[in-house]
Structure 1
């Protein structure tokens, strides 16, 4: 499914001359402030830095003769490489871009907004042919820089929000609702959400909202949240599940923000004699390779990572060649396994 959105148009890219005009100094003075800051008095450097910030100026790392050109680099910004959540997207994207002689420059923000801004600035200084970035929720300054860069921007993995330019992904709120609907259909009534939910992990927050909304619409009690703002892992899942059961013994279903967390939840339930799926159902997100191998096998959501990678590459090439921005919705699948399949 493809939905065309209006082309926001390219904004004028700020230059040394526009910085110099804003501050009221020569271009050479601005250039010296960048190349040899100790040769410019500190008060004037502050004025120049403030002007660069206001105008979203990014230094150009390309050689002087190429100052008006684009490089063959595509900046790819992900929020995590932990448990290879986005590895197959990047791998597929890189392979497809190499066919067009484009190189990937990868940055991992670790869900840190300060790091995201820093990496985006650094990537843009290389005048990339395009930028591919995870999610549609970014710090305002990152959005300003990307819009002002003049480079095609493809947001991956999520489409649930305002898009800068082009997006390839799926609706995470709908995924959360599907998790709830599946658990309800299997006869579970007291739902909990467990896992790693950091302030900058907007996708996990959307899935949680979808789960809660669907449970409320079905007349169920409020979903019990038990989350923490740290990296997800089986160890974290086990710890959170133990704490959850101590505080809410009546829970009969647990939705996890990732498969890695779900593996730990399954271990905690097994060690405490809670039968899965008879006593408690467990559903994950991601469909990692181990999801079908654990006991019981894990019901989970399978995003089509490889397709997102291929379509992102297609979108990059299309935008470079002048195509209009658009949003492409990629299908996902709920894979039912033993962790929620109650016997009739």
Structure 2
């Protein structure tokens, strides 16, 4: 048996027959345990449920319950809808898939690992044609479910990690290193990383690691961090900036994990009488529409969201039609504006 056959078998979705074989009962008994659990004795139900968990079986909600049935749905799982961070990706992805007769089913995990597991399990029960999901770092059960599904899985927004099937995104650690380099090239030396860095926001964590690595390579003092588990917003940015400068007034460069946090940082600096960029330089991530309307205008990193959406759609269609898994690095741009104008 060749490697390709092994891979195909390892990605084959578990069926009622595989559950029945594991427990040593008929397919009808397993089906009855799912449809009318009260008709199956308690101990046998427990064994069946245990086998389903071990094999990562997901019930089929489609009419007829045929194991090979696939819908025209593509499940799209994002971690946030806050400030429309992924809106352009979803819009581009949906438009491209509609042209091929595929519909998007959207789920928002809110960075909650338990919710991500429930949502992925629910989406898989509809037998989607494919799943597109933000990030490459997931709760262990989510990875098991997606691998066991046998469906095309395209991880979006990040490529830095263990990829399930295919991925389309950016190298977030490289982004953080570029942000630090941009400030250092303009003469800033005492740098801080500020923002919302939640436990399950691994992309922000990777950018913070990139900042720390680049600063260490330059032989500067370690990056100072002022972060919170709260969702990012301008009020949080203002509060974190004030905490940061109260504790370390010599900070002269601030790297924000998002534009909306940077808006609050700029507000805090203005209230404190700090001149940007003369006293402190500020750079962020996201390039939201407001970034070029701030005073001063905000230096930031612009991820190519539309490109990620289009290439994700292309990867989905390719995999549905038998194409090979791929990992695609998407370009991004560091946009220097007035907030880092110091030379």
- Helix, strand or coil at the partner of 1:339: helix
The reply on whether 1:9 has 2:8 as its aligned counterpart is yes
Whether the 8 Å contact between 1:10 and 1:148 is mirrored in structure 2 is no
Residue 42 of structure 1: CA displacement?
2.7
- Helix, strand or coil at the partner of 1:13: coil
Range 9-18 or range 246-255, more displaced: 9-18
Query: Once superposed, which parts of structure 1, at least 4 consecutive aligned residues long, lie more than 4 Å away?
Result: none
| C-alpha distance in 1 between matches for 2:126 and 2:199 | 29
The reply on whether 1:263 has 2:263 as its aligned counterpart is yes
Residue 313 of structure 1: CA displacement?
0.4
The reply on whether 1:90 has 2:68 as its aligned counterpart is no
Residue 33 of structure 1: CA displacement?
1.6
Whether the 8 Å contact between 1:254 and 1:281 is mirrored in structure 2 is yes
- Helix, strand or coil at the partner of 2:339: coil
- Runs of at least 5 residues in structure 1 that lack an aligned partner in the other structure: 1-6
- Paired position in structure 1 for 2:126: 126
- 1:145-160 → structure 2 map (5 Å cutoff): 145-160=145-160
Higher relative CO (CA 8 A, sep ≥ 6), structure 1 or 2?
1
TM-score by length of structure 1 reads: 0.96
- Paired position in structure 2 for 1:3: none
- 1:15-54 → structure 2 map (5 Å cutoff): 15-54=15-54
| C-alpha distance in 1 between matches for 2:190 and 2:65 | 65
Aligned residues between the structures = 337
- Paired position in structure 2 for 1:115: 115
| C-alpha distance in 2 between matches for 1:233 and 1:41 | 52
- Paired position in structure 1 for 2:99: 99
- Paired position in structure 2 for 1:218: 218
Range 219-228 or range 66-75, more displaced: 66-75
| C-alpha distance in 2 between matches for 1:98 and 1:323 | 20
Residue 21 of structure 1: CA displacement?
1.9
Per-residue CA distance 1:19-50 (angstroms, 9 max, x = gap): 12212222222112211222223332222111
- RMSD between superposed Cα atoms in Å: 1.2
TM-score by length of structure 2 reads: 0.96
Residue 229 of structure 1: CA displacement?
1.0
- Helix, strand or coil at the partner of 1:30: helix
- Paired position in structure 2 for 1:174: 174
| C-alpha distance in 2 between matches for 1:58 and 1:188 | 53
- Paired position in structure 2 for 1:311: 311
Per-residue CA distance 1:114-164 (angstroms, 9 max, x = gap): 111111111111111010011111112111111111111111111111111
- Helix, strand or coil at the partner of 1:151: coil
Whether the 8 Å contact between 1:176 and 1:210 is mirrored in structure 2 is yes
| C-alpha distance in 1 between matches for 2:9 and 2:275 | 57
Whether the 8 Å contact between 1:8 and 1:165 is mirrored in structure 2 is no
- Runs of at least 5 residues in structure 2 that lack an aligned partner in the other structure: 1-5
Whether the 8 Å contact between 1:81 and 1:108 is mirrored in structure 2 is yes
